[in-house]
Structure 1
């Protein structure tokens, strides 16, 4: 997320350096500002790569410290820019029309304005800080892709809990019966033309579990001649996906491998698949699709042969399904969280599977209900919490300890690391400007229904919203919010009669993760009851 702050600053600096006013107001620091812009652009490139790697593996402690230092300098630079732009507005208001988006939050800084020579001194200090940080990164090898600091290495790769969902017994699964039956009906019934079924929901909601139970169901296996299960994820090679489809189709029909398949190019693979499927019924499930344009590489290979071909996609992004509508009939199934009763049943199965006959003892019932409530029907979180507590003594002390420190435990306890990683993937996949917007929602209280109008104005005031030709800042910010909703990161609380979203909220577990990221990135700090003061940046 730090590169998001750097990106905003770089845009400010570029705009600033293009202004005529710079030469007349602060001519002596123009060169220093240009140097800082160049340094920040270099740092931003590394931070963008580091953010992407952080989604798959833990960042080393050395890099974490360095990133924190970058954020602190970025914060000081942001304050300076607001002071400087306000000073320019006072001296040359007619030249700053393009800075209107950055001036929303400047009014509060009037009392902080310094004389000209003090401003020059401050910018020189910031420049020196940026140069020191860059030198430190080179000294410890942070600029080398995949490396951590010399004083520590990255942690081992985490174990993806989604793999477990591929091997769950029916008795281990709760609350999918009605969804499974409805989706199986969509697969085996209906019109003979090709149909795409998209199962949409936030990370950890059980999309993979549901899809795998459908794929393995006897009714599906009997109905289709060819079937394939393809795990897609964030990075994929379309040729490898096509090869896997062909191999699984032929295996399902107990046919010999296709000669030369491993050396075929994409066009040849598409042609082979089309010829193979021309007279066959087929079903393919693409699990965990992220890219909106994924369908472009698939639509021609899985042809519409009027034989009832079916394609199922699981995704966190509603726009993936919308993209498919360009060339195929699409059903969208929005997977819902577990009901309170289902959530409680799943928790007890995990927490007390080998004790108390699978039932919660009365002394732990209130705390257990509170822990389940925090999970808000998210199966991944319920399973993880229950699994962790199954290893603990069945005492009020142990249960209370987890209840009071869920956010902290998500970031450090190996039983809960998977939850943190799975939900963080959605955050890491965001463009930098949306990361800031999502983090900002974490400042609202747990279970708070947020006014969308108020939230949008706050994003604008903070400088998170980019100016876009032909649109107001409010319209651009509204698009940001809709994208976060479509990515299953923000939940809709209230929609008015016209269909416009008026209130929204964060899932409690996602909010806990955002709170920790906010603190790690110096984005914001929450004072707990035990903290009487906060030593912020100076």
Structure 2
């Protein structure tokens, strides 16, 4: 009986891990401030899965283990239910609908944080009662590798905003924004480029860290939790809050000019003459030119080959000396950079995988990359890339 429960729990974890990976990759998780919590849940679940695999391999099953496995199984059900609802919100394309669901977002964010606490409790219970003992001599290389993969993946999740490739664009964009000007109408700056270039990272992480001080819009939105039921109410509230303040607002991944006009007309006060800045990121050059004048459109480009190589090496925790010592390693690095099209997002995703792999395994990872990524870095190819970063074993 215990054997069946352990097997079922391990199987259930696979689905929960997959959904956690998709949820963590969703931009909405960053907006809601739960991305790190979801990453933590995913990594802890992978560790649990590895331990349960070890328990099956060593025939180490008893009543305490059965109870713990049941808790893991039930936790997996709850995580899947919560993340299913979260992904419904992710797939909502209507800005109005997104603005009207602040109360739902808060509720889901609380659920995710509560699940994180439960994951911590279940994980610590295993350590506290020493439920699973895996003798070194009885543990297969694959099981050890699986556990190490989880630990290394967490260690390699460095802040991509601090990595190479963003310094020059950040400096150029700050210069374009002319942040020292503290009067006049709000200035709109558009960052335009294909998916995977790092527009969101540049705007949200780099610029916000460099420029923001004082009140955060997030703090303003907290005051609305449970109160706003109409997008119009939110727009009026924001207009009132920022009309006498110098503000920096980032509109990420704008798709249509109609949405821009709606936001611009309703939210941004015409009377504000404090030199505020609005940053818009988009993939549509035409839309960018509709939002602002040509001189304020910043075209984000792919990384230079040297920058892309630096980024891949740093993310995978390797150095140039490794390439100098090993021609085969140098060759696979060059092929990976080329296959990724020098796109930061693709390189970061693959670098995270490679940090957990031996160099002899890099060719296997390369062979699994979507072939169309290099010649046509479409959204679907990028999705395949991100999905791969969570599925390669």
How high is the TM-score relative to the length of structure 1?
0.38
1:118-137 matched pairs, under 5 angstroms: none
The answer (yes or no) to whether the contact 1:285–1:312 under 8 Å persists in 2 is yes
Pairing 1:346–2:300 present: no
**Residue of structure 1 equivalent to 2:236:** 271
**Residue of structure 2 equivalent to 1:175:** 165
1:307-346 matched pairs, under 5 angstroms: 307-325=274-292, 331-346=296-311
Q: Aligned pair in 2 of structure 1 residues 356, 280: CA closer, same or farther (>3 Å)?
A: closer
Shift of 1:337: 0.6
- RMSD value over aligned CA atoms? 3.9
Pairing 1:217–2:209 present: yes
**Residue of structure 1 equivalent to 2:254:** 289
The answer (yes or no) to whether the contact 1:227–1:282 under 8 Å persists in 2 is no
The answer (yes or no) to whether the contact 1:348–1:358 under 8 Å persists in 2 is no
Where 1:216 maps in the other structure, the secondary structure is: helix
Q: Which runs of 5+ in 1 are unaligned?
A: 1-151, 229-243, 249-256, 409-441, 448-505, 517-538
Where 2:302 maps in the other structure, the secondary structure is: coil
Question: Following the alignment from structure 2 to structure 1, what is the Cα–Cα distance between the partners of residues 190 and 257?
Answer: 12
Q: Aligned pair in 2 of structure 1 residues 183, 511: CA closer, same or farther (>3 Å)?
A: closer
Question: Following the alignment from structure 2 to structure 1, what is the Cα–Cα distance between the partners of residues 379 and 268?
Answer: 40
How high is the TM-score relative to the length of structure 2?
0.50
Where 1:407 maps in the other structure, the secondary structure is: coil
Question: Following the alignment from structure 1 to structure 2, what is the Cα–Cα distance between the partners of residues 322 and 245?
Answer: 31
Pairing 1:401–2:368 present: no
Moved over 6 A (4+): 164-167
Q: Aligned pair in 2 of structure 1 residues 303, 357: CA closer, same or farther (>3 Å)?
A: same
**Residue of structure 2 equivalent to 1:18:** none
Where 2:258 maps in the other structure, the secondary structure is: helix
Q: Aligned pair in 2 of structure 1 residues 381, 315: CA closer, same or farther (>3 Å)?
A: same
Question: Following the alignment from structure 2 to structure 1, what is the Cα–Cα distance between the partners of residues 236 and 195?
Answer: 35
Tell me which protein shows more helix as a share of its residues.
Answer: 2
Larger radius of gyration: 1
Aligned partner (choices 180, 202, 205) of residue 197 of structure 2: 205
1:108-127 matched pairs, under 5 angstroms: none
The answer to which structure, 1 or 2, has the higher relative contact order (CA under 8 A, 6+ apart) is 2
Shift of 1:206: 0.7
Q: How many residues align?
A: 235
Where 1:298 maps in the other structure, the secondary structure is: helix
1:39-438 matched pairs, under 5 angstroms: 156=19, 158-161=22-25, 169=159, 172-187=162-177, 188-190=179-181, 192-218=184-210, 220-222=211-213, 226-228=215-217, 246-247=220-221, 257=223, 262-263=227-228, 265-299=230-264, 300-304=266-270, 305-325=272-292, 331-351=296-316, 353=317, 359-360=322-323, 361-363=325-327, 364-395=329-360, 398-407=361-370
Question: Following the alignment from structure 2 to structure 1, what is the Cα–Cα distance between the partners of residues 231 and 161?
Answer: 42
Question: Following the alignment from structure 1 to structure 2, what is the Cα–Cα distance between the partners of residues 276 and 268?
Answer: 12
Shift of 1:194: 1.2
Q: Which runs of 5+ in 2 are unaligned?
A: 1-14, 37-157, 385-393
Shift of 1:215: 3.6
The answer (yes or no) to whether the contact 2:195–2:379 under 8 Å persists in 1 is no
